Chain A
Amino acid sequence: MHTLFRPFAIKSSGDLARLGVILALFGLILFGALRYDHFLSPYNILSFLRYNSMFALIALGMAFVIITGGIDLSVGGTAAMASVVAALFSPVHWAAGLLAGMAAGFAVGALNAFIITKMRIQPFIATLATMLAAYGTGLLLADNQSVSVSYDSGFTVIGQDDFLGFPIPAWIALAAYVLGWLVLEKLPAGRHVLAIGDGEATAGLMGLKVERTLAAVYLASGTLAGLAGVILAAQFGAGQPTEGVGWELFAIASVVVGGTLLTGGSGSVGATLAGALLLAMVFNILNFENGLGWISLSAYWQSVIRGAFLLVVVILQAKLMTRRKTA
């Protein structure tokens, strides 16, 4: 397929979809900039980046999982549990909170990897179960309420402060995406991920370590979800065991909007970021539009619009797929 060598020319429908999402993102930014006074104000841009970095991190892990042909439904529950763990460890040291939260995510990832590669249970059902387990663990640890973080250890800096004028969560997300891009596009590991998504059996026959690669992908997704949980706790000052509901769906939608096929075997890190930003931008614009007073859409419209958006994207993807088949 087109995934091993990717020249700049548009060679496939996947590239077309990826180009589409980037154009759509710029289109939305242009629309917002022309229509609303404060759309490109530093305040809006910075708070947009600060808040949506969590979702971008989860979408990155999800992209890798989906490229292998799998799915990770546990990310929302993992983030919620990790936020609680991070909050509990935050009085010790800010780094203890950070590491403990990531370790919690890593643990869920390891459990997913074990159930999927050793017990050979489909990713969908395996991560559905660990989602329940993660929520349960988070609620138990937090005693069914939100857990306040320590404000003395500097833990909240991770979520609330800026570095060189940009929010720290945005820096973290940026670093993760650069790393993800390097792995997928430049390292052999990335080619293994793509090959497994194209055909697990074939990849095994080629001598690729399928189980190890799959395990690594779920570990990465869990750890990134844990990191998102740390940012959640640091940003809002509390570990929140009931947060994260529906995050997995937002992440899947971002990956799909970014042109990655759910059947695996192809995908791009950059387009996933564009997909996550695009979905987030829709809400940002909706908020501004409400502010103008021409329309007043209640918060309930958000999920309707989000669903409609996903619908348009998957139908377009399906059309592109059939065109590729017949071409």
Chain B
Amino acid sequence: MTTIETPAPQPSGALSSGSRLFALAGRYGTFAAFLALVVFNMAVTPNFLSWQTLNVNLTQVATIVIVATGMTLVIATGGIDLSVGSLMAIAGALAPMIFMGRFWPVENMGLAVALAFLIPVVVAGLFGLFNGLLVTRFSIQPIIATLVLFIAGRGIAQVMTNGNLQVFKNEGFQFIAMGRIAGIPAQVVLMIVIAALAFALVRYTVIGRQIIAVGGNEKAARLTGIPVRRVKLFVYMVSGALSGLAGLVVVARNSASDANLVGLGMELDAIAAVAVGGTLLTGGRANIVGTVLGAFVIQLVRYTLLANGVPDAAALIVKAGLIVLAVFIQQRADKH
């Protein structure tokens, strides 16, 4: 949506109170919403301040954060990745097949579990690379390029497993979801590590800067010698690999892998987390902390409504309003 606008020069300090409000809301809105939700729940929801509530919310938000981190990088380059849920299903289908010996007999369980971690993530990363190739080599718009695997990816997972539920019990593999590191659930540790790595990547590395530059102005980035294609391939590959990892967490948590369900609708949750977190969907910005907060806000809204007996369907409507409101405030704040 382009509009013809003549940017009015605004002397500093002469901002109208309305635009200052939007600027404030744009910067601190997500955090304020998060705090408001916590305070609201403390007042209204019974047993909100308990370890169990914290545990439930943290473990549910972990996979959204992991996927949304990759999504933030893709969106920062001006792209989008619709295939994340399908790639979760593929990785989630592959892992049990490996340690249950569907491909080759398992002689050493330790090795099999290591491969069950490694191979699905690599495969999902390669599918991400495929998305990136469609975007860079063939100049296909990201929505359509990743639509291909959104449609076909879940089908691939279903064909691999013939649509059957794979039930398993494997302590080594399930450590990623059930285990605890210093008392903290392993998936939560994983979430923190990944978000921290992505934050450092954006803030302190050359490729992080290049990602922002590509999304800000692709032509200018190319002219200044930034390898635009390689940067894009990188973000789609990372998004794919992180989706694969999230798929492993989900199946490990459920002790079962259902190719029909793993990661279903995840692209929406991830995009919503990014949007609510304040990363512009037009690219040129990557607010990892915002994305984490955005994911927490979405999870808390869902929890608040469920815990207070509001039907799941109404939660969908609230989520829709939240996305529109967040993007609207962000855009208004950005103009000033």
Binding site for B on A (CB under 8 A): 71, 115-116, 119-126, 128-133, 135-140, 144, 200-201, 204-205, 246, 249, 252-253, 256, 262-263, 298, 300-308, 310-311, 314-315, 317-319, 321-322
Contacts and interface: CB of A to CB of B under 8 A. Distances in A.
Nearest to A310: B148
B321 to A, nearest CB: 7
Nearest to A306: B151
Classify the interface of chain B: helix, strand, loop or mixed.
helix
B53 to A, nearest CB: 24
A136 B268 contact: no
A132 B324 contact: no
Contact of A133 (B145, B150, B282, B321): B321
B317 A121 contact: no
B311 A300 contact: no
Contacts of A205: 4
Contact of B152 (A298, A303, A315): A303
A262 B144 contact: yes
B139 A121 contact: no
Contacts of A121: 324, 327-328, 331
A249 B150 contact: yes
A298 B155 CA distance: 10
Interface stretch (B26-34, B65-73, B157-165, B235-243): B157-165
A319 to B, nearest CB: 8
Given A121-B328, A144-B313, A201 B155 contact: no
Nearest to A77: B316
A302 B155 contact: yes
A267 to B, nearest CB: 15
A82 B281 CA distance: 30
Nearest to A135: B316
Interface in B145-182: 145, 147-156, 158-159, 162-163
Contact of A132 (B148, B159, B319): B319
B3 A298 contact: no
A201 B159 contact: no
B155 A303 contact: yes
Contacts of A137: 313, 317
Contacts of A204: 3-4
A310 B275 CA distance: 28
Contact of A314 (B140, B153, B317, B319): B140
B103 interface: no
B202 to A, nearest CB: 22
Contacts of A315: 134, 138, 140
B192 interface: no
Contact of B2 (A130, A140, A200): A200
B313 A140 contact: yes
Nearest to A124: B143
B215 to A, nearest CB: 14
A302 B319 CA distance: 31
B330 to A, nearest CB: 10
A122 B3 CA distance: 12
A122 B327 CA distance: 9
A319 B138 CA distance: 7
Contacts of B206: none
B141 interface: yes
Interface in B72-121: 80
